[in-house]
Amino acid sequence: MSKKLKIGLFGFGVVGQGLHDIIRTKNLNIEIVKIAIKDPTKKRSLPAELFTTDKNELLQNPEINTIVELINDTEAAFDIVSTALKTGRNVVSASKKMIALHLQELIDLQKEHGTSLLYEASVCGSIPIIRNLEEYYDNELLHSISGIFNGSSNFVLSKGYNDNLDYETALKEAQDLGFAETDPTSDVGGYDAKYKLVIAAAHAYGLVIDPDEVLNIGIQTLSAYDLQYAREKKLKIKLVPVAKELDDTHATLFVLPKFVNKHEFLYNVDYEYNCVTVQAAFADQQFFYGKGAGGHPTGSAVLSDIAALRYDYQYEYKKAHQKEGLAFTNNVELNIYLRYEDDALVEALEFEHIHERFYSGSYKFVTGKINLQNLIANQQRILDSKAFIAFADQLTGVRLASAAKQCVEV
């Protein structure tokens, strides 16, 4: 028999309202007792007595046994979630940045206080990837997890490739439709995808990694030349987070644009849609597809976690407890495409091998093999010079190398 959940809800934006819409259509033994909001002057669709600006009306209310956190302020979200866990309340959160930055602390708090934090909605909205990694793949060796984790950047890339829009016009359309923020850096810069990747890797490989150690290079320097190159090669450009098992001892994580061919699942995932591809040793390749944002899709993932708490569900972090777990490394080689203006940048990146080099009066590019650590060391220089980099394993078909010098192909 499920227990009744009395919820304190933080945030009543797009996702909070979407969650409420779904809950009121169901009979799930769930009641929203109080909703904390930031702006008391904003017109709401529910009775005024349901709302408060005082977080303690939720966190100190003995009637409330479950906290649902759906706000945009990272540190405020951590304060709310950690306080709730310490005071014996279970929590559902959709704050990917907060969870990625504080994951080890949150795991420790759950263990110390016997509470549960669930966060399916923090990774790819309605796609149920965290629960699948926890339960379906718990005893499976995963070769890789990759996909399209950010709908805003995918919308911009799709508009550029499919509709021949330049980057700025495509981004403006994404912002007008509400897919991208006024400051789009987190989306187009690959930060949002990185936070989601870090969370997924904790369940896939048992790795709790500081996001600052994971490379993210985005699409903000994309040009018509890069799209032209992709079309000539019959490829599309996608912003792809990758978690890859390299051997029995190491795994790597990074976020980069990637050239994908028509035989890959990612090729046909366009506009605001997300997907996750899992390559497993025994289950082989599996593909999850759906909307990664929006009130009702994300609200459905939040509700799934809330419903699981009625039966005291907890993440077990099974792979993190394995005696012979994987270690994280950036010492891997990638096959990349680099469109550049500054010749000194090519020298600074210290290509292990150059496969192709092109010069014209308009633009220059080079393809070749490079160590991921060199990209990390020159990340700001790459951005400042407006160079564009894409992961390009299809261009050479290089296979996985030895443990000493890993070469990634996803």
The mean of the pLDDT values for the chain is 92
Element (H, E) at 386: none
Fold of 5-118: Rossmann fold (3.40.50)
**β-pairing, 250-261 with 235-245?**
antiparallel
Phi, psi of 31, deg, nearest 5 = -135, 130
Domain ranges of the chain: 5-118, 131-291+325-407
* 245-279: pLDDT as tens digits: 998 899 999 999 999 999 999 999 999 999 999 99
Reported confidence tier of residue 295, pLDDT bands at 50, 70, 90: confident
Can you give the pLDDT at residue 45?
87
Res 323: pLDDT: 65
Q: Catalytic residue among 196, 238, 258, 319, which?
A: 196
Helix (H, G, I), strand (E, B) or coil at 222: coil
What was the pLDDT predicted at 408?
A: 62
The first and second tokens of residue 404, run together, are 């000493």
Q: What per-residue confidence (pLDDT) applies to 357?
A: 96
For residue 397, the model assigns a pLDDT of 34
In percent, how much of the chain has pLDDT > 90?
85
Q: What is the 3-state secondary structure (H, E, C) of 281-344?
A: CCCEEEEEEEECCCHHHHHHHHHHHHHHHCCCCCCCCHHHHCCCCCEECCCEEEEEEEEECCHH
Lowest-confidence segment of 27-31, 112-116, 152-156 by average pLDDT: 27-31
Quick one: pLDDT band at residue 406, thresholds 50, 70, 90? low
Query: Which structure tokens are listed for 7?
Result: 């919820």
Average pLDDT over residues 306-320: 94
The whole-number pLDDT of residue 402 equals: 43
Lowest-confidence pick of 91-100, 177-186, 318-327? 318-327
**Cβ within 8 Å of residue 246, ≥6 positions away:** 252, 329, 332, 400, 403, 406, 408
The CATH code belonging to domain 131-291+325-407 is 3.30.360.10
- Work out the average pLDDT over 97-113: 98
Q: d(Cα 202, Cα 186) in Å, to the nearest integer?
A: 21
Query: Where is pLDDT greater, at 179 or 136?
Result: 136
pLDDT at 349 over 50: yes
Which pLDDT value is given to residue 136?
92
User: Which one has a higher pLDDT value, 399 or 206?
Assistant: 206
CA distance 325 to 314: 21
Does the annotation count 196 as an active-site position? yes
Which helix (H) or strand (E) segment holds residue 367: the answer is: strand 364-371
Higher pLDDT, 320 or 302: 302
Q: Calculate mean pLDDT across residues 364-374.
A: 96
| Assessment of whether the complete model's pTM goes beyond 0.85 | yes
- When pLDDT is averaged across residues 311-330 and rounded to a whole number, the result is 89
Query: What is the reported pLDDT for 164?
Result: 95
Query: Given a cut of 70, is residue 395 above it in pLDDT?
Result: no
